[in-house]
Amino acid sequence: MEHIQSFFSLTRLNSFGIDVKAKYFCKANAIDNILSVLDWQQKQQTPLLVLGGGSNVLFTKDFDGLVLQNALKGITLEKEDDTYYYVKAMAGENWHEFVCYCVEQQYQGIENLSLIPGNVGASPMQNIGAYGVEIKDVFESLEAIHVQDKHIQVFQHADCQFGYRDSIFKNALRNQYIILSVTFKLRKQPIYNTSYGNIEQALEQMKVTTPDMASIAKAVIQIRQQKLPDPKVLGNAGSFFKNPIIPDQLFEAIKLKYPQIPGFPISQTNTTKVPAAWLIEQAGFKGFRLGDVGCYPLQPLVLVNYGNASGEAIYAFSSNIIERVAKEFNIELEREVNIY
């Protein structure tokens, strides 16, 4: 039986650095550990929370149950064909280290996702994405264990219902599975994606004329380091809100008052994606700080903990933003971060 600790501090296990405790805590580094801990948790009838790197959660209170940190490790090349390598990574592998490993091995397709904090196991949860690439573009399958009956199930791409920062694991199957491993389908022949954000500009500055996986990863890392706060220095969970997708009609109506509103039409849906950062800035929150909570001055979509903010204070701050944006634009911002 794994070692279960009581009243365990989660401060160092969440990137906001919120000072909360778990009633019970266990770090599992083998599937057998997970099974025995689930037995224990069911006997205790205590709630369960699975944690990876804690970089997409906001704790607003102590967790009155068991926090299970998934620390399964291992990366294996499962198979290859003419076009792809099929690479399986266990859930507890650090995401960025996994990306670096793939770049080294010349497994192509996730270099644009460099430096995203967190672990592999959480990557399908919200279909992580950045710089024009999402997990769904390279996802082959995943293995997960059902928390109630403990069977292990394989989910193929179509089973996961990936969407923008979304999957079935955030919806119909929320809290029902623990992801054990993810298999990625990575190209042998590169198709680089440098058109998004400032990647081309960064490559130019680096004097790279023929980009490769390593130089693209380096460019993405540089851009991210300039734009986003390092959670080790300033607590945060990346983008706090999703970019809203609104009916074209509403977009046109807003445009009458705000002709400069940026928007990205989504083909064949009569909807447009609007940058939440722009809406938040217009609502007056860019760089705004209240006590130890604030909008990061360089990127208002990122809420930061300047020191000893409580999770409740950050949550209240986010509610205030939602209210003000709704009032001004009639758009309901949705939180991307998981609230506990």
Ligand X SMILES: Cc1cc2nc3c(=O)[nH]c(=O)nc-3n(C[C@H](O)[C@H](O)[C@H](O)COP(=O)(O)OP(=O)(O)OC[C@H]3O[C@@H](n4cnc5c(N)ncnc54)[C@H](O)[C@@H]3O)c2cc1C
Which of 287, 256, 251, 255 is closest to 269 using CA atoms?
251
Indicate the residue among 141 and 254 with the shorter CB distance to ligand X.
141
Q: Is 128 in the site for ligand X (CB under 6 A)?
A: yes
The reply to whether 55 belongs to the active site is: no
Q: Does 34 bind ligand X (CB under 6 A)?
A: no
33 phi/psi in degrees, rounded to 5: -60, -45
Per rule CB under 6 A, is residue 29 in the interface with ligand X? Answer: no
Total residues in contact with ligand X, by rule CB under 6 A: 32
Interactions with ligand X, residue window 221-250 (CB under 6 A): 228, 231, 236-238
Non-local (6+) Cβ contacts of 113 within 8 A are: 95, 99, 128, 129, 130, 131, 133, 135, 220
Q: Which entry of 55, 114, 141, 165 is annotated as an active-site residue? A: 165
Binding-site member from 126, 141, 181, 310 for ligand X (CB under 6 A): 126
Does residue 318 have an active-site annotation?
no
**Which residue of the set 239, 310, 318, 335 is catalytic?**
239
For position 294 contacting ligand X by CB under 6 A, the verdict is: no
Handedness of CA 186, 189, 194, 199 (dihedral sign): positive
Contact stretch for ligand X (CB under 6 A) within 47-55, 149-157, 197-205, 265-273: 47-55
The C-alpha angle with vertex 69 and arms to 63 and 71, in degrees rounded to 5, equals 175
Exactly one of 28, 38, 116, 160 binds ligand X (CB under 6 A); that residue is 116
In angstroms, the CA 186 to CA 164 distance is 21
Q: At what angle do helices 213-227 and 95-105 cross, to 10 degrees?
A: 150
* Shorter beta-carbon distance to ligand X: residue 20 or 116: 116
Q: Which residue has the tokens 């995401």?
A: 95
Regarding 15 and contact with ligand X (CB under 6 A), the answer is: yes
Of residues 51 and 325, the one with the C-beta less far from ligand X: 51
Establish whether 239 is a catalytic residue: yes
Site string for ligand X, 147-186 (x = CB under 6 A): -------------------------------xx-------
Say whether residue 89 binds ligand X (CB under 6 A).
no
- When asked if residue 123 is in the footprint of ligand X (CB under 6 A), the reply is yes
The residue (of 83 and 175) whose beta carbon lies closer to ligand X is 175
Which regions of 95-174 does DSSP assign to beta strands (E)? 129-130, 133-134, 139-146, 152-156
Are the CB atoms for 46 and 6 separated by under 8 Å? no
Q: Does 66 engage in binding with ligand X (CB under 6 A)?
A: no
CA atoms within 13 A of residue 191's CA, in its CB half-sphere: 8
Q: Does residue 50 bind ligand X (CB under 6 A)?
A: yes
Say whether residue 293 binds ligand X (CB under 6 A): no
Q: What one-character DSSP code corresponds to residue 241? A: B
Per the structure block, which two tokens stand in for 235?
Answer: 């607590």
37/31 Cα distance (integer angstroms): 10
- Residues recognised as catalytic: 165, 239, 336
